A and B are shown apart, each in its own frame.
Chain A
Amino acid sequence: MLLNNMKKLALIIVLLISFIPVFAQQGQDVEMADTFRSNGRIYVVVATITIVFIGLAIYLFTIDRRLKKLENDK
């Protein structure tokens, strides 16, 4: 029971963390003219790399959850 609750809590935390970049991008949208387009638009590259890594992290988390379920079934 406790383990189950902890798992739920961990899931909520992960989901919350995955929202942070969304908020960050919203904030940057307002001032994109001076942030994203500055320095030869290097921040677009930064954003792209962030997207790649966040996507990879989310995907690996789902695989991890699938494996956890399998481990717990035994």
Chain B
Amino acid sequence: MPIMHETIRNVYFHVPMWMAMFTVFTISVVYSIKYLISGKPEHDLIAVECANTGVFFFVVGLVTGMMWAKYTWGEYWSNDPKQNSAAIAFLLYCAYLVLRNSIDEEQKRAKISAVYNIFAFPVMVVLIMILPRMTDSLHPGNGGNPAFGKLDLDNRMRVVLYPAFIAWSFMGVWIASIRYRISLIEYKKNAIE
């Protein structure tokens, strides 16, 4: 791609952010379901902290994407379908965090937000992964062709890119688990008082 030049290296930083986000959001949904089955507050805490970490990767992914877009597409925000639907999905998860803070009663909060999370996740996946592909978009892999097709990506890049996906996903899981451990201590202390 001629408009990319050296910025193709951004692929190693921009895309893994989204992969890390997907990983932690998936874990978040799994624990939301587990919470609804088991009712253990620990599962709720894991779901929340994973969602928190996911929102962080969301923001970093958006900002790096805007930086990249400015110098390849000419605008920070060019109303590309993928950009717009990513923004909507971001609001979805912001609403999740706001919803949690707005309910005081602990079990009610955990239950409602778990249900919301389970609904929000597939909507987010559809918004980011599926809808932009059905229209024309500036992002590669849209308008019918798969994202990392032969034309877009050299095989030598794959060798770097896929380990980067895994590494950043683990990074996200690590941060989420640290946050979970902190909030578990907070929770236990509140329970004693």
Residues of A within 8 A of B (CB): 36-37, 39-42, 44-45, 47-49, 51-52, 55-56, 59-60, 63, 66-67, 70, 73
Contact = CB atoms under 8 A, between A and B. Distances in A.
Contacts of A45: 6-7, 9-10, 13
Contacts of B9: 42, 45
Contacts of B109: none
A63 B7 contact: no
Nearest to A73: B189
A62 to B, nearest CB: 9
Given A48-B64, A52-B17, 7 more contacts: A40-B6, A41-B6, A45-B10, A45-B13, A48-B13, A51-B64, A55-B63
Contacts of A52: 13, 17, 60, 64
Task: Say what secondary structure dominates the interface of chain B.
Answer: helix
A60 B18 CA distance: 19
Interface in B52-68: 56, 59-60, 63-64, 67-68
B167 interface: no
B13 A41 contact: no
Query: Which of B17, B63, B71 gathers the greatest number of chain A CB atoms within 10 Å?
Result: B71
A59 B182 contact: no
Contacts, number: 60
B7 A51 contact: no
B6 A59 contact: no
Interface string B1-17: 00001110110011001
A32 B192 CA distance: 57
A55 B10 contact: no
B134 interface: no
A52 B172 CA distance: 13
Contacts of A55: 56, 59-60, 63
A44 B69 CA distance: 10
A61 to B, nearest CB: 12
Contact of A63 (B10, B17, B68, B178): B178
Most chain B CB neighbours (cut-off 10 Å) among A42, A45, A47, A70? A45
A66 B64 CA distance: 26
Contacts of A42: 6-7, 9
